[in-house]
Amino acid sequence: MPRSPIVWFAIASVLGALAVAPLSWPDRCCVLGALAVLAVVLETGSSEMRHVRALAAVALVSGAAYAFVRAQAEPIVRETRTMRFAGTVLDERSDDGALRTYAFAIERGPQVLITVHDALAAGERAIVRGRLEPLDDARNPGEPSERSIEREHHIVGRIASAAVLRVDRAPPHGAAARLAQLRAWALASLRAHLGDPDAAIVAGELWGERGAMPPELRTEFQTTGTVHVLVTAGLHVGLVAALVLALGVRLTLPRVAACALAMLVAWFFAIVSGGALPALRAAAMATAMLSARACGRAVISWNALALAAVTIVAIDPQSVASASFWLSFCCVAAIFALAAPIESLLRMHVPHPRVREACAMTLATQCGTWPVTAAVFLRFAPYALAANVAVVPLVPLTMLLGAAQLALAWVPPLAQAAANLNGWVLAWTIGVVELLAHAPGASLPMTPAPSWCIAAYEAALLAFVPLIRRGGATLAGSAVVMATALVLWPPGSMRGVLHITMLDVGQADSIVIETPAHHAILVDAGGRLERGPQGSGSVAERVGERIVVPFLLSEGIHALDAMIISHPHGDHVGGCAPVLRTIRVAEIADSGQTYGGHAYHDCLDTARADHVPIVYPRAGDVWRTNDGVTLTFIGPSLPFIGGKNAINDNSIAFILQYRSFRMLFTGDAGVAAEQRFLGEGIDLASNVLKVGHHGSAYSSSPAFIAAIHPRYALISVGRHNLFGHPAPSTLARLSSFGARSYRTDLDGAFSIETDGLSLSDSVMLSKR
């Protein structure tokens, strides 16, 4: 048990801040459990703990109150009408060829994102027309909050439908603009001598550059568990502080002066690199450890880590609920707990002390962070340990050579010499990453473990060495093995009911059906309409990668009994290929129409390469599961309906039935298809209707709605879409028949649970 009250004060402060944070109910239960454990430990402790109990109570209450007050003071971005905004371009965030996304500081306003066709330079002043709106909270179950992620980089909104009206190339005004221009100059200088992607890696290390990295290479870094190398955070700030401290020692500076200089440089580096919260957290940790060294105390101590936690709660209490906060602290805690024992084990095999220390810290870091990393990226990287051992020890060298290249920019031959040396080191880094990223089983899809499973693992890891020292090796090993198993194979859902989720995939469709016996069927996979040539990729597929695949994994779905493609348009088939590359699919149901879209053909090609059967259900076909769920297909039927809306009208349509519950799926079928269904005398009565063609005025005819008489009408539609969907006439018609309409643009994802008799529903967004 730690002796210093600062540890208990820090734990109570963090739990207090978490207690008022907007958490999911499983995470909130985990926090309540941690509070109960804290209370029991303090209450059953020795009499010396009496004053600690009072201190912890004060920390708990003050942490909660401070976090609540700070949350109320957060700037709120409210949606505006389309208008003009003047501001400064800060940096490029991404580039997909046709569109570029930039961080943009509005004059006398917040920092936001803009996505435009124009190529802009950091530090430029621009006039942009668009609609200011807040960033999204999670709109689908299991989805990360874009608002929380970007908040760490001080981005609080976006200008939607942005268009650049004018660019002013006058000298920048203000510190943010000058810093942006400085970073742009540094990137250009690195590229002039290093070239890409080497320059992008060094820029990521030195100031967290996010837009220069090729997406394929960033994916390879993610696959190998080394993406943290590309983001300025704890690793880089800690290295800068350590290098400055080593320089101070070499120059024989007094200990206090060397530590003070290292603190100053660490904070300067964190701010110049963009002032993102992960970098500021790392600077706070470095400050705590350097303060301990300056006072003659142990640098690697729980007191230093506790002091860093208290500092971070004081700087930004809301950040304690972020994944990056827990990554930082799990990383440092694992180093404190495991680095020394691992280094002693390596002493016989790795004689050089510096190499041994680097390997021990890398191994400890991986042991502490892989569960959180896997939960964030939904991937388990088996080769992450090998990749980090091969790559991370070289980061200080690449950073030093990159900084030297920039410092020598005015002497081109010397700058080129530094770049040439760096090129050899970076060639090794990229080679290792590419080799391991393409090795068999390099990235395994993983269901994110609940927070309590990760907490159990971290607790078992921290207790591992103390238990062994007390003779409890068997208990220590068993605890770590059991906790690891819980993270790798988290407990699944025990619903035992039919669960249907209409995902919010924008102006597209995607619905997931989970039966009582855990069969899973995906009806469409989101996407976007494909306009013009798509080349070797498609914008339609990104929605599947970002939303559909993560949802399936978060639900524990690693295999689909079927994937039904209602029709081949990109807004329905876009995510199918990404799903096939990640999830096992037993068969694909296709409407069998001819269409030239890239996403559709990529789906079929991927299915054939993986030997996934493709079937073509027709009206009258029936699918049955072993738990009583039936899918009765009502369309398409031959001959296909003709006309300009033929592909939509020949969508796969079916009625799902479980006991007395019925739901009608219509794809994008329009009035012509509805007339055919009515003419064939099909019993269309259903509790729930998936409204055809996103609520278009050319579907949901009065006779059709009268035949269904739905209780719920689900409309998958994009916000501010250009088609005017859903049509006011469609909404009025559904209302006139007593149907309650749910729309993904207003409600986010919509879920239905039923035991076949009663029915319950829920939406992601409670405010309309």
Residue owning tokens 């796969």: 652
Give the 3-state DSSP-derived string for 706-767, with helices as H, strands as E and coil as C: HHHCCCEEEECCCCCCCCCCCCHHHHHHHHHCCCEEEEHHHHCCEEEEECCCCEEEEECCCC
Pairing of strands 562-565, 520-523: parallel
Residue 170: the pLDDT is 64
Length of the chain measured in residues: 768
Tokens representing 350 are: 């790795």
Residue 179: the pLDDT is 81
Domain assignment of residue 95, yes or no: yes
Residues 88-129: tens digit of each pLDDT = 888 888 776 678 888 898 988 889 999 888 888 888 889 999
Domain count, the chain: 5
Domain assignment of residue 340, yes or no: no
Mean pLDDT confidence for 402-413: 92
Element (H, E) at 430: helix 412-437
Instruction: Examine the domain organization and report whether 389 and 430 are in the same domain.
Output: yes
Mean pLDDT confidence for 692-719: 93
Beta sheet of 498-502, edge-to-edge order: 614-615, 588-590, 562-565, 520-523, 511-514, 498-502, 750-754, 759-763
Instruction: Examine the domain organization and report whether 234 and 146 are in the same domain.
Output: no
Rounded to the nearest 5 degrees, what angle is found at the Cα of 387, between the Cα atoms of 383 and 391? Answer: 175
Instruction: Examine the domain organization and report whether 472 and 435 are in the same domain.
Output: no
Domain assignment of residue 77, yes or no: no
Instruction: Examine the domain organization and report whether 258 and 131 are in the same domain.
Output: no
Residues 366-380: tens digit of each pLDDT = 888 899 988 888 888
Domain assignment of residue 333, yes or no: no
Residue owning tokens 């268009």: 163
Last residue of a domain, one of 173, 191, 210: 173
Q: 271: exposed, middle or buried (C-beta count within 10 Å: 0-12, 13-18, 19+)?
A: middle
Q: 213: exposed, middle or buried (C-beta count within 10 Å: 0-12, 13-18, 19+)?
A: buried
Q: 597: exposed, middle or buried (C-beta count within 10 Å: 0-12, 13-18, 19+)?
A: buried
- pLDDT exceeds cutoff 90 at 326: no
Q: Report yes or no on whether pTM surpasses 0.75.
A: yes
Tokens representing 630 are: 């039936």
How far apart, in whole angstroms, are the C-alpha atoms of residue 419 and residue 403?
10
Domain assignment of residue 186, yes or no: no
Instruction: Examine the domain organization and report whether 163 and 224 are in the same domain.
Output: no
Instruction: Examine the domain organization and report whether 435 and 463 are in the same domain.
Output: no
Residue 171: the pLDDT is 65
| CA dihedral sign, ordered 714, 719, 722, 724 | positive
Residue 536: the pLDDT is 52
More confident residue, 47 or 654: 654
Coil, helix or strand at residue 617: coil
Q: What percent of the chain has pLDDT over 70?
A: 95
How far apart, in whole angstroms, are the C-alpha atoms of residue 759 and residue 568?
32
Instruction: Examine the domain organization and report whether 131 and 232 are in the same domain.
Output: no
Q: 108: exposed, middle or buried (C-beta count within 10 Å: 0-12, 13-18, 19+)?
A: exposed
Is residue 190 within 8 A of residue 402, CB to CB? The reply is yes
Cross-strand partners of 129: 84, 163
Q: State how far the alpha carbon of 299 is from the alpha carbons of 129, 259, 304, 446, 659, in Å.
A: 52, 11, 7, 36, 65
Helical H segments across 82-174, by residue range: 146-151
Residues 60-98: tens digit of each pLDDT = 999 999 999 988 887 778 888 899 999 888 888 877 667
Helical H segments across 73-174, by residue range: 146-151
Whole-number mean pLDDT of the chain?
A: 88
Instruction: Examine the domain organization and report whether 509 and 481 are in the same domain.
Output: no
Extended beta strands in 558-685, E state? 559-560, 562-565, 584-585, 588-590, 614-615, 622-624, 629-635, 653-658, 661-665
Residues 196-217: tens digit of each pLDDT = 889 989 988 888 777 667 878 8
Instruction: Examine the domain organization and report whether 158 and 263 are in the same domain.
Output: no
Residue owning tokens 């689909």: 560
| Full domain range(s) for residue 418 | 199-323+382-447
CATH number at residue 103: 2.40.50.140
Instruction: Examine the domain organization and report whether 544 and 596 are in the same domain.
Output: yes
- pLDDT exceeds cutoff 90 at 522: yes
More confident residue, 388 or 514: 514
CATH number at residue 622: 3.60.15.10
Domain assignment of residue 97, yes or no: yes
How far apart, in whole angstroms, are the C-alpha atoms of residue 290 and residue 260?
8
| Weakest-pLDDT range from 358-367, 437-446, 590-599 | 358-367
Rounded to the nearest 5 degrees, what angle is found at the Cα of 542, between the Cα atoms of 541 and 547? Answer: 110
- Torsion angle, alpha carbons of 328, 332, 337, 338, to 10: 90
Domain assignment of residue 493, yes or no: no
How far apart, in whole angstroms, are the C-alpha atoms of residue 564 and residue 579?
12
How far apart, in whole angstroms, are the C-alpha atoms of residue 6 and residue 391?
35
Instruction: Examine the domain organization and report whether 689 and 656 are in the same domain.
Output: yes
Tokens representing 234 are: 């704890």
Domain assignment of residue 376, yes or no: no
- pLDDT exceeds cutoff 70 at 417: yes
| Residue 357: CB atoms within 10 Å | 17
- pLDDT exceeds cutoff 90 at 551: yes
Residues 722-767: tens digit of each pLDDT = 888 999 999 999 999 999 999 999 999 999 999 999 999 888 876 5
Q: What percent of the chain has pLDDT over 90?
A: 44
Instruction: Examine the domain organization and report whether 459 and 442 are in the same domain.
Output: no
Name the pLDDT band for 1 (thresholds 50, 70, 90).
Answer: very low
